[in-house]
Amino acid sequence: MPYRYLLGFALIAGISSAASAQFTTFIPPQTKAADSIKTAVGTQQRAQGDSIQRVQLTNMKTWVDSAAGVVAPPATTRADSLMGLPPDSLTRSQAAATDSAPTLKNGARAPETASNLPLFALLGAMGLGIGTVMLAGTKLGRERA
Amino acid sequence: MRKLIGLAFFISGGLLLSFVGGRYAVGIARADSAREQWDAAEAHRAVVRARELVAHRTASLSAPSAGAPVARLVIPKINLDEIVIEGVDGDALNAGPGHLPGSVLPGVRGNAIVSAHRDRHFSHFDLLNVGDTVLTDSRAGRMKWVIVSQRVVDKDSPALFATRDTTLTLTTCWPIRFLGSAPERLIVTAKPVGRLTERLASAN
């Protein structure tokens, strides 16, 4: 009888300790839904981080290129002034602007730069001189008479 | 009778001289005004350029309006320093060298054509030779040019042509010392030798 009790206690203690060990090291399995949510969130965060980094790098590169004059900034807006652009961008925008302007005709004549003002000046001086001489001659003749 | 004829000569000569003097005076006044406008525009250009560099944007340019100062032309050899005005009509050429509408501005790819009277702004063009230096300043930037050819053509002959490369063409009447309407045109062609970064110094 005591033997039976001893065996019974031993079995209970062994099983319970084994069961306790099993339970204490038990890690409940994670659900598939929780896994997919975590993965999605992580992927999204990584993607956001990458894209922000890429955008920042791109902006920085544009800024450096622009400051160094390597790449002309894109023409996006119309300025309120008639003056003052970097030569290269001006060349492009000027070319675009002159597209709408009347173009130079091949074989056009040189502009009319002939001026008659020198001739008029000479004639005027001659007239003034002749008139002065004639008036003076008239006065001298009157005095002599 | 002699007195009347003398008086008629005197008055008509005086009127002619007054007309010529008045025309020159108006031209000088307009040239001064154009230079003031140019200086103001140059200052404004510096501000706009700084603003655009900060804002990372560029402007599109519209064609200049008639009578507006569009460039500065400097030829050190003949002490020429003039503001170029848009247009080649009588009023524009009376004020200064005129930029032919339809041609590009000096410094832009194509043929930029500037004309002036031989009795005023281009009065010493007979002293120019191939190899002489010309400087320009316009919205397209500051350029240094060298004269590569000079030719004289009849006033009705085809003289101006569009070019693919950057060219500066200066025209005036020929002969320079001629009384009356000159029968020929002097065509001076220059090619760029570089862009200038500093402001043009006065040739005078």
- What pLDDT does residue A50 have? 58
Closest-CA distance of chain A to residue B115, Å = 7
Across A123-145, average pLDDT: 84
Contact B62 A133 (CB under 8 A): no
- Structural domain count of chain A: 1
How far, in Å, CA of B41 to CA of B69, rounded?
Answer: 9
How far, in Å, CA of B190 to CA of B132, rounded?
Answer: 9
Contact B173 A114 (CB under 8 A): yes
Of these ranges, A7-16, A48-57, B53-62, B65-74, the one predicted with the greatest mean pLDDT is B65-74
Q: Residue A2: inside a domain, yes or no?
A: yes
In B, minimum Cα distance to A66 occurs at B56
8 A C-beta contact, residue A131 and residue B11: yes
For residue A18, give its domain range: 1-28
Q: Residue A143: inside a domain, yes or no?
A: no
Tokens of B116: 């002036």
Please state the domain extents for chain B: 2-196
Pairing of strands B111-115, B69-75: unpaired
Among A27-31, A122-126, A129-133, the least confident range: A27-31
Distances (CA, A) of A60 to A67, A73, B10: 10, 13, 78
- What pLDDT does residue B106 have? 92
Contact B139 A72 (CB under 8 A): no
- What pLDDT does residue A99 have? 44
| Higher pLDDT among residues A66 and B128, named by residue | B128
**pLDDT greater than 80 at residue A74:** no
Burial string for A107-117 (b: 16+ CB within 10 Å, else e) reads: ebbbbebbbeb
pLDDT-derived band at A36, boundaries 50, 70, 90: low
Estimate the crossing angle of helix A117-144 against helix B2-55, to 10 degrees. Answer: 150
Across A54-77, average pLDDT: 47
Closest-CA distance of chain A to residue B181, Å = 5
**pLDDT greater than 90 at residue A140:** no
**pLDDT greater than 50 at residue A98:** no
Q: Which residue, B112, B136, B181, is CA-closest to B38?
A: B136
Closest-CA distance of chain A to residue B27, Å = 12
Chain position carrying tokens 């996006």: A76
How far, in Å, CA of A72 to CA of B57, rounded?
Answer: 9
Chain B residues close to A115, C-beta within 8 Å: 93, 117-120, 173
Contact B12 A127 (CB under 8 A): yes
- What pLDDT does residue A90 have? 42
Across A40-46, average pLDDT: 63
Chain position carrying tokens 């524009």: B92
Write down the ipTM of this complex.
0.73
Chain B residues close to A83, C-beta within 8 Å: 41-42, 44-45, 48, 139
- What pLDDT does residue B44 have? 82
Contact A132 B10 (CB under 8 A): yes
Pairing of strands B80-86, B133-138: unpaired
Chain position carrying tokens 């119309």: A78
- What pLDDT does residue A19 have? 56
Percent of chain A with pLDDT over 70: 34
From its phi and psi, is residue B148 left (phi > 0), alpha (psi between -120 and 50) or beta? alpha
Of these ranges, A114-118, A136-140, B60-64, B106-110, the one predicted with the greatest mean pLDDT is B106-110
- What pLDDT does residue A113 have? 86
Q: What is the CATH number of domain B2-196?
A: 2.40.260.10
Chain A residues close to B196, C-beta within 8 Å: none
**pLDDT greater than 50 at residue A107:** yes
Chain A residues close to B116, C-beta within 8 Å: 113
Chain A residues close to B6, C-beta within 8 Å: 130-135, 137-138
B175 touches chain A (CB under 8 A): no
pLDDT (tens digit, 9 = 90+) per residue, B18-76? 999 999 999 999 999 999 998 888 888 778 777 777 766 555 556 778 888 999 999 99
**HEC-encoded secondary structure of chain B:** CHHHHHHHHHHHHHHHHHHHHHHHHHHHHHHHHHHHHHHHHHHHHHHHHHHHHHHCCCCCCCCCCCCCEEEEEEEHHHCEEEEEEECCCHHHHHHCCEECCCCCCCCCCCEEEEECCCCCCCCCHHHCCCCCEEEEEECCEEEEEEEEEEEEEECCCCCECCCCCCEEEEEEEECCCCCCCCCEEEEEEEEEEEEECCCCCCCC
Tell me the pLDDT of chain B (204 aa) as tens digits: 888 898 999 999 999 999 999 999 999 999 999 999 988 888 887 787 777 777 665 555 567 788 889 999 999 999 999 999 999 998 889 999 999 998 999 989 999 999 999 988 999 999 999 999 999 999 888 999 999 999 999 989 988 998 989 999 999 999 988 888 889 999 999 999 988 777 766 655
Average pLDDT of chain A is 63
- How far does CA B148 lie from the centroid of its chain? 18
Chain B residues close to A140, C-beta within 8 Å: none
